[in-house]
Structure 1
Amino acid sequence: MLSCKYSKFSLPKNITYLNCSYLSPLMKSVEKAGIRGVRRKRNPMDITPESFFTDAELLREQFAKLINASDPKRIAIIPSASYGISTVAKNVDIRKDQHIIVAAEQFPSNFYPWQALCEERGAEIKAIAPEPGLTGRGKKWNEKILNAINAQTKLVALAHTHWADGTKFDLEAIRKRTTEVGALLVIDGTQSVGALPFDVEKIKPDALICAGYKWLLGPYGIGLAYYGENFNNGKPLEENWISRLNSEDFSKLISYEKNYQPGALRYDVGERSNFILVPMMIKALSQLNRWHVENIQEYCASITAKAIDRLKEKDFWVEDEQYRGAHLIGVRIPKEMDIEKLKQTLLKNKVYVSFRGDAIRVAPNVYNDESDLKKLVKVLTAQTK
């Protein structure tokens, strides 16, 4: 099992940061890579034409390794989750009698592109909400989504874990059902990939979109996307020079090329060679690959287990283990507790979590240890006395 990796970060010792689902802290090595990137521009004569391509290919390789994708050229470099999802939406041909399924209250970037597409084509967007009540909530929610998928379903767009409360969706079962009816499956992995194992070869999504600044431990403003065979010949959101075939030859850039680079490279954002963010993202992903994501998930489970048991004893609600990850845990408070007072108390004690809807979003990572969870429990349970 992994040991605590606190020393690889620069978090202050007097705070308890359980909020990776909001923003991850940067590892010292990632920060140094960014500083080197800034300094590199001092002397641009050292940035060769090859420099526009070499790091981008390394980045694809590292992300492909993380998600077990056999072909790195299926990886596109994107600036945000909304960019990657909007790319998919641009290449989906939906009829008026078809619909798109999403989970209720999922992150806006994984809703607005589908809403716009459906409004444009006269199709329907169906947001599947959980059943009222908390007993068996995750199980019942998964069942409702599976039951909603039918012959009129064009596409299912979900996260692996819901951004607001960490509910985990059974993507293998959902993939099986979408395959049966001929629907696409698009996954927003922003709140899971990097901490919860995701295997492209096993789940076989049509697209997987990830912002880099959360569980991938990277900087803000860069992300990665996997696009499957259904998008081999799609249209990118923008037409930039580097996504065209033979763009490596700078002397022939004005010999305008109709064809794109192979695979998903056509979907790369302009200026994808970003000499600051790309090296930072490479450094973060290479460290995650050395740690192995399954070990990160196991570590998070080991440091949260006792805390979850203690919270349940005090009438806090936490989802059944099968339907949540260990890295993103939605905690619902007892009815008599004042949530606004609780927010202030947590801040006063320098315990950093997020509140989304009626859930406290607790999101530990490898820089945390069991003492951080004990402090959280102490602050929360003190409010029940």
Structure 2
Amino acid sequence: MTAIDVHNVCVSYGSVQALHDVSLQVRAGEFLTVLGPSGSGKSTLLGVISGLMEPSSGAIEVGGRDITALPTHHRQMGLVFQNYALFPTMTVAQNVAFGLKVRREDRATIQREVERALALVRLDGYGTRRVQALSGGQQQRVALARAIVINPTVLLLDEPLGALDRKLRQEVQVELRELQRSLAITTVMVTHDQEEALTLSDRIAIVNNGRIEQVGTPDELYAKPVSSFVANFLGTSNEVRGRVSREGYGARFTDGDLSFACEVPRFPGNEAIATIRPESILVEPAHSTTQPGIVHARVRDAIYLGGNTRYHLQLESGHQWVALSRPDHPIIRRGADVALTWSPEAVWLLDPSTPGAIE
């Protein structure tokens, strides 16, 4: 069931077009993240859904009802912003109660709903405190409580964890996902943080230059990107342009001196872009293996990351790639000659002339 339906939305600011004919469906109860770089149009899309911005053309439906012309305060949506937008002179409870007071709810209802919302975000007993006396993580929870206290049909989050340090952000991510699941509330979040999107989302919509490049589950987008932009924005990808030809029961990708096996594409012999994720590449000392299909390289740099080591490599063909070692492999030092191997299944082919991948 579709909760939010964005139909062919365009947004223009004079001669600048922020959104180009964007269509997107958000399923009921799912956590969908709109992911993209700064200036990609992701916050504009959230603004249009919330009613804070008007589309130049197109329509927004929620639950099958056209709300394009409906004011923000009539859309039954909860909003959380990066800076939280809390009232510094009010207590925690007064901040959370704000939306209910605007709706002229009675005092008993306000007290009951505020206590319920604070309990959901694990801030029981914090109602009388001033928000300025709270930590960043606690302020973020107050903003969440204020958004959910009105029992919205949709929760909209605009970079909600951007102000938190890394450790606290990871902790709040878990809490936010648990809260969203317990309420089964349709949630749309905007972020530029790939790890955050992968951690929280049921599906991700990747936006670039005002257009949606791809929508899918985190594993779909990571394993089968439809474009070079998606492959490189969601993680790191080694890319090379060349040609694919049939070889026995499989296929071979070739670019000058670089050649390796890959799965059979739909159109053998076509030009293609081969993408290989760093963690798919096995890095071994050059003298330790003689198996066929080896690609030789030299370690330009080896960066220890705790759980693994990131290698910056100079291939014999001249290409510069990145690989991630397995945690149990010894570190190979800078300047060493290495042998690289990967499975044909690790190679994902993209059509350089269209946004679709060659399957």
Structure 1 length normalisation: TM-score? 0.27
Higher strand share: 2
Higher helix share: 1
- Higher relative contact order (CA closer than 8 Å, sequence separation 6+): 1
Structure 2 length normalisation: TM-score? 0.28
